[in-house]
Structure 1
Amino acid sequence: MLDAARRDPEALVGGHGPITLDEVQREPGLLSAVKRAFDRNRSAGRFLLTGSANLLLMRHVSESLAGRWEELLDTPDEGWRDLLAAGDGHEEDWCALAYRGGFPTPALELARPAERAIWFDGYVRTYLERDLQDLATISSLPDFRRLMQAACLRLGQLLNQTELGRDVALPQPTVHRWLNLLETSYLLVRLPAYAVNRTKRLIKAPKLYWGDTGIALHLAGSEPQGPHLENLLLHTGSSVEWLTPDVLAAPWWRVL
């Protein structure tokens, strides 16, 4: 499929039915073909594009489909709120939710911690040995993994790259570059500082969070604490406009 995407991307995306393209960052030229196909047939929902890297943060991607995402997607169905509110009201300790994380396999299929640990180990190994190498050449994977662990131990704290580098024996420029790679591949989340003055928001240190609490807890070898609850809320309410009083009173919200 990768060879077809490189040789004749127009044929790959030129059909009339819906198509799913995974790991689209591996062939950036494919995005231009998707854009042209959509311009010829502007039917929303034809393409499902997934991958392990943020296209908007990748330097070698010239066509990120910026400005087209709203056109490519159908209008969101607001009925999901009613579905969540009509749940069975089963309460669960948020710590258990943090341990499982948000990946479908460990969250829904693996009941025992030992099974999830094996899955998380495999995920991190695959990330380091395959996905990361698609983004940049890392000469020392053990150092990179140590930085990941140190970042997980600083969940919810203000990000100080110099201090982080000192703790893991890495120069600050290397820490800066590797944190950018973690953010590009959706593992790291930097929450900008809030201030009434918009200029201060740009210069103040952001807080550091992780893309998945299950991975963060596994790498850190720690137990869920307050920052992990903040991390869950960050992903659940990244757009807080829908957190109205009636939504917060719904049974499903008590899981948090």
Structure 2
Amino acid sequence: MITRRHKNLVQHDLAHFPSVVLLGPRQVGKTTLARALASEDPDALYLDLEDPSDAARLDNPGRYLDLHRSRLVIIDEVQRMPDLFGVLRGQIDARRRDGRTSGHFLLLGSASGALLRQSAQSLAGRVAYHELPGLDALETGPDLNRPWLRGGFPDSLTAASDDLSMRWRADFIRTYLERDLPQAGLRAPAVTLRRFWTMLAHRQTSIFNATELARSLGISVPAVNRYADTLVDLMLLRRMQPYLVNVGKRLIKTPKLLVRDSGVVHALLNLRSLEELLGHP
């Protein structure tokens, strides 16, 4: 297993804040990192809200968490239970009164916008945010060709062959198109969403032009902006604002939209090997 340099950073945050929100797209390694932290703390409690049995434990969250007031509680996919944040505020305040000022909750989620809104409303002053990106050059070693081709998702990067890596990324894209994007409230045909995502990959580093994309896809400009906002929220795209000395101009100039992971870009463009990638215009 590749050691994540972010582990020490998250441990630092847990030592100084009552709760830490760990953000990142699916399969980037949030759960692996959280379990590695839990393995070093025998009293840590891990709950996955995609597991019905774990979700059922929080039917009465206040009573359940009261039973584990002295433990670090790790809650995965926490955005699935938005009402929980109000309960966590009370739990944090109760633990503070008991003399514990930090290391109460580690919250994991794959929808940054939803999590930030939910936590900001209830946990202001009680939470630190940490974004977990894909594996980078400091973690993968000196060979940069493999992570450039396969991207930074651990399962893609460490696959036994380029073909298996490509298959993993194709399945990853399909899962988002058929499950995660609809669950995020994006009601659109998967074919249209794939074309939109692929067009962004073709235009990587270009200025985002919603009107041109809408015309090419045969949809409205508000629909294009909604697609983009959802993919940014799910941490699959990065909205990069222009860097200008005048701060006001930074806010009004058109940003770029970047597909965050190079391996996803290459899967969308069907570039299966380093040779194909080097020959791509």
| TM-score using structure 1 length | 0.71
Residue 20 of structure 1: how far off its partner (Å)? 1.8
Identity %: 34
**Runs of at least 5 residues in structure 2 that lack an aligned partner in the other structure:** 1-53, 131-137
1:76-103 CA distance string (max 9 Å, x none): xxxxxxxx6xx9x9632x3321222222
Task: Name the counterpart of 1:98.
Answer: 148
2:83 corresponds to 1:29: yes
Residue 67 of structure 1: how far off its partner (Å)? 4.1
CA 1:106–1:64 in 2, change beyond 3 Å: closer, same or farther? farther
Q: For 1:64 and 1:224, how far apart are their aligned partners in 2?
A: 46
Task: Name the counterpart of 2:161.
Answer: 112
> 1:8 is matched by which residue type in structure 2?
N
2:108 corresponds to which of 47, 50, 56: 50
Q: For 1:90 and 1:58, how far apart are their aligned partners in 2?
A: 33
1:8-39 CA distance string (max 9 Å, x none): 12244331222221111111111222222222
CA 1:61–1:34 in 2, change beyond 3 Å: closer, same or farther? closer
1:27-72 CA distance string (max 9 Å, x none): 11112222222222244233221122014577788836344333x8
Aligned residue pairs, count: 208
Task: Name the counterpart of 2:123.
Answer: 65
Residue 149 of structure 1: how far off its partner (Å)? 1.0
CA 1:184–1:8 in 2, change beyond 3 Å: closer, same or farther? same
Residue 224 of structure 1: how far off its partner (Å)? 5.4
Q: For 1:202 and 1:215, how far apart are their aligned partners in 2?
A: 28
| Structural RMSD (CA) | 2.8
Aligned runs of 1:166-181 on 2, under 5 Å? 166-181=215-230
Residue 154 of structure 1: how far off its partner (Å)? 1.3
> 2:85 is matched by which residue type in structure 1?
L
Checking the alignment, whether the CA contact within 8 Å between 1:22 and 1:51 is kept in structure 2 is yes
Task: Name the counterpart of 1:160.
Answer: 209
Checking the alignment, whether the CA contact within 8 Å between 1:150 and 1:220 is kept in structure 2 is no
Q: Which deviates more from structure 2 when the two are superposed, residues 26-35 or residues 186-195? A: 26-35
Residue 182 of structure 1: how far off its partner (Å)? 0.4
Q: What secondary structure is seen at the aligned counterpart in 2 of 1:63?
A: helix
Whose strand proportion is higher, 1 or 2? 2
| TM-score using structure 2 length | 0.65
CA 1:60–1:112 in 2, change beyond 3 Å: closer, same or farther? same
> 2:265 is matched by which residue type in structure 1?
A
Residue 189 of structure 1: how far off its partner (Å)? 0.4
**Runs of at least 5 residues in structure 1 that lack an aligned partner in the other structure:** 74-83, 226-256
Q: Which deviates more from structure 2 when the two are superposed, residues 53-62 or residues 42-51? A: 53-62
1:2 corresponds to which of 9, 33, 55: 55
Q: For 1:184 and 1:61, how far apart are their aligned partners in 2?
A: 15
Q: For 1:57 and 1:37, how far apart are their aligned partners in 2?
A: 18
Task: Name the counterpart of 1:38.
Answer: 92
Residue 3 of structure 1: how far off its partner (Å)? 3.5
